[in-house]
Structure 1
Amino acid sequence: MSESAVADAPQSDRTRAARTLTVTGLNHALHDGYTDLVYVLLPIWQTDFALSYGLLALLRGLYAGTMAGLQIPVGRVAERIDGKIILIAGTALSALGYFFAGLSGGVIGLGLALALSGAGSSTQHPIASAAVSRAYGNAARGPLGIYNFTGDLGKAAIPALTSVLLVIMSWRHTLLLLAVAGLLVAICIALWMPSVGKGNTRKTTAASRGAGAGGRGFHWLLAIGILDTAVRMGFLTFLPFLLRDKGASLPTNGFALALVFIGGAAGKFSCGWLGERVGTLRTVLITEGGTAALILSVLALPLIPAIVLLPLLGVMLNGTSSVLYGTVPELTPPHQTERAFALFYTGTIGSGAIAPVIYGLLGDTLGPTLATAATAITALAICPLAIALARHLAAEASPGRAGA
């Protein structure tokens, strides 16, 4: 369906759409990689700056918090300024943040640099998602899936590259090199991405099914997204330390995180396919139940068996999000789709900022093992919320769909 819809468009429109998807995908990979490379650096910063788990989580939260809190303001700015300009400025700002992090002489400077980088990353999710949606119109669901997938490629590639660079150079020089890569991506946006336009001159063209289902249904969806993100970020915060305690070296930690993110990328595809066949409810129950079981297994197993499970755990950790993103338009009137995406991203990314701090404080009190077990309990708590959400999904009751 998507391919035929795109084929009916003029060749110039298809070319512009492909360029938009390619450039925004590259940008998404960079920003998501920037976000998650922090996990590789946390043990190093703990040693260099003698930080507690709570302060380490606060550093992570500074990046995610600024990224989450500025998304809605960025959307308002996009009503007056071409979104392409905002993407260029945001990507450059995020790269400069890591440049300053590499030059920082203490934990305060490091925290300010991470907040600056997070502010730059606040631009890419709402604006790039809307750009892809408008470029492909009613055929946008597939390209949006590809756009989301590119973020997972960045999560897999950049932390893995960082772990390799840390073997041959200091973490400060590594961040300076990654900052240069970010500035190159900003240049690519300036040279090759078509104009996005101003928000107040655009019409929403993305398909929206079940628009009347909004209201409380979206609130259930947002609650699930917030808790699902909390589980993922809380677990990833402690994973390097859990593996280190099992005997993992720094390169092994980087490799293990890459396995989780590779599994997460696979989860975006496999769980989207699963959701089409068994429904949103059953898919969420499978992914969250599997997440809880696999987290507890990683806690209990020795190093090698635990690492073997990480790709499958990555599938479960990210699988729910692939279903949730696709459900946002189903619960939102067409004229509010961009606003709903901005709110959903703000809630989930805000959860990514706050949850590690909460779990970090729990780790300081109870230790990393029990704090990680708490993330498994949180995953199980999502299941009753999914049952409540299913009542609001008109698509779940349509013929040929199971799981209502």
Structure 2
Amino acid sequence: MKLIHWWSKKKKSLMSACLAHALHDGYTDGLYAFLPVWQAEFGLSYAALAIVRALYYGTMGGLQIPADRALRGLSPRAALILSTALASAGLLIMASPFGFAGLCVGLVVAGIGSSIQHPCGSMLVTVSYGSASRHPLGIYNFSGDLGKAALPALVAVLLPSLGWQFVLGLMAVLGIALSAALVPLAPAAPIRRAATTGVASGQGRGGFAILTTVGALDTATRMGYLLFLPFLIHGQGGDTATVGLALALLFIGGAFGKATCSWLGERLGVVGSVMVTETATALLIAATLFTSLTPTLILLPLLGIVLNGTSSVLYGTVPELSDGDMGRAFAVFYTSVIGSGGLAPILYGAIADHSTQTIGVLASAATAALIVPLVLTLKPHLSTSGAGPYGKAGFSRRWMSRWIGQGRQ
């Protein structure tokens, strides 16, 4: 009976982290559906639009480490509810009749809220499952993609018939409802953090630096392309609902890519799988520039698989290359990738403003291509002859057998 209760607590912890992750990632990528509306209403250039978006994304990324340090004394329940309540409050401020200033302030407040969720949720799953946390972390990562697929599509469907402020208000209500749902699920006691086995050597730290750089460039590619996708769809004759469909197709592909890239990683290793996915990303991004609307919509799920799936391989490698403090390692990794995701679109937007939208999209494709030679330098830092935690098939089978054995104990 005690064992059943223990497993129940772990599943509740995982569920609470996944629900929060799905909502916050849905908030983050749901904002893309508002970009054409905000551009028209406030007369923004591509670069200015990227800066407005970066108020949320940059705040969320820049506060990952401070949030992890400042809130270590809080229970996961309190931290996740605080995170969701702040994000919802930010959306309500954005929806209020304060014009452009209210939009900017609300984006910052929502970003502060979302900065708490990632390190808290990742650490909760890691501590709850211990040495068997890789698969639950994959579920946690996957849950974010479910939110990315659902909320942007919902927003795009509602925007043509409802005002954008009203749609933001509905999103805030969803966050308030989730805050209530977290009460019986998330643990009420603070997490006791103990140092975990990690790589403390200079070589290990060097590998972690490469990993975070690859993650930052991968995110820059994804966010840069997402900046232009609504306008690309409009340029091909699509309306607002079609933009929502395009985002949903891309994110559904991304969710499927989590499983696909994990399977690919088991056979090619971290380095090989990243090389394959980034090469495919660059080629598919370029292809959507030269297709009409229907072929583009057909390509988007395929692009989503490689555009979003790479992150699961990179994310799962963080514990191996951390220095033992996995909470801080996840915070640093998220700071790198989210900060890049906030700043890179500004660069791509400026490129597009001074040239064309096509050049801006090609710049994001070139970033994916740049990752291919860079990830080769990660190989000496990984276990199993550079294969990493997804390593050779035999290593993967041994790990899976050990995980299943722990689950039966």
TM-score normalised over the length of structure 1: 0.93
| Contact 2:75–2:187 (Cα < 8 Å) also in 1 | no
Among residues 129, 148, 158, which one is paired with 2:151 in the alignment?
158
Q: Flag the 1:377–1:397 CA change in 2: closer, same or farther, 3 A.
A: closer
Among residues 77, 86, 111, which one is paired with 2:79 in the alignment?
86
1:137 aligns with 2:130: yes
* Residue in structure 2 matched with residue 368 of structure 1 by the alignment: 357
* Residue in structure 1 matched with residue 177 of structure 2 by the alignment: 184
**Which amino acid in structure 2 is aligned with residue 89 of structure 1?**
L
Note the C-alpha offset of 1:100: 1.1
**Which amino acid in structure 1 is aligned with residue 194 of structure 2?**
K
| Contact 1:268–1:319 (Cα < 8 Å) also in 2 | yes
Among residues 187, 196, 200, which one is paired with 1:194 in the alignment?
187
* Residue in structure 2 matched with residue 359 of structure 1 by the alignment: 348
**Which amino acid in structure 2 is aligned with residue 380 of structure 1?**
A
| Contact 1:131–1:196 (Cα < 8 Å) also in 2 | no
1:307 aligns with 2:297: yes
3-state SS of 1:123 partner: helix
| Contact 1:152–1:262 (Cα < 8 Å) also in 2 | yes
* Residue in structure 1 matched with residue 95 of structure 2 by the alignment: 102
| Contact 1:288–1:383 (Cα < 8 Å) also in 2 | yes
| Contact 2:380–2:386 (Cα < 8 Å) also in 1 | no
Equivalent positions of 1:189-228 (< 5 A) are 189-198=182-191, 201-204=192-195, 214-228=204-218
| Contact 2:284–2:303 (Cα < 8 Å) also in 1 | yes
Cα distance in 1 between the residues matched to 2:210 and 2:277: 17
| Contact 1:218–1:331 (Cα < 8 Å) also in 2 | yes
* Residue in structure 1 matched with residue 66 of structure 2 by the alignment: 73
Cα distance in 2 between the residues matched to 1:113 and 1:400: 47
Note the C-alpha offset of 1:375: 0.7
* Residue in structure 1 matched with residue 380 of structure 2 by the alignment: 391
Unaligned runs of 5+ in 1: 1-7
Among residues 285, 307, 310, which one is paired with 2:275 in the alignment?
285
| Contact 1:104–1:110 (Cα < 8 Å) also in 2 | no
* Residue in structure 1 matched with residue 238 of structure 2 by the alignment: 248
1:28 aligns with 2:13: no
TM-score normalised over the length of structure 2: 0.92
Q: Flag the 1:106–1:288 CA change in 2: closer, same or farther, 3 A.
A: same
State the identity %. Answer: 47
For the aligned residue pairs, the C-alpha RMSD in angstroms reads 1.8
The CA deviation string for residues 11-64 of structure 1, in whole angstroms up to 9 with x for no partner, is: 111000111111111111100000001110000111111111111111111101
Cα distance in 1 between the residues matched to 2:110 and 2:386: 43
| Contact 2:123–2:326 (Cα < 8 Å) also in 1 | no
1:234 aligns with 2:227: no
3-state SS of 1:173 partner: helix
* Residue in structure 2 matched with residue 327 of structure 1 by the alignment: 317
Note the C-alpha offset of 1:292: 0.4
Q: Flag the 1:274–1:394 CA change in 2: closer, same or farther, 3 A.
A: same
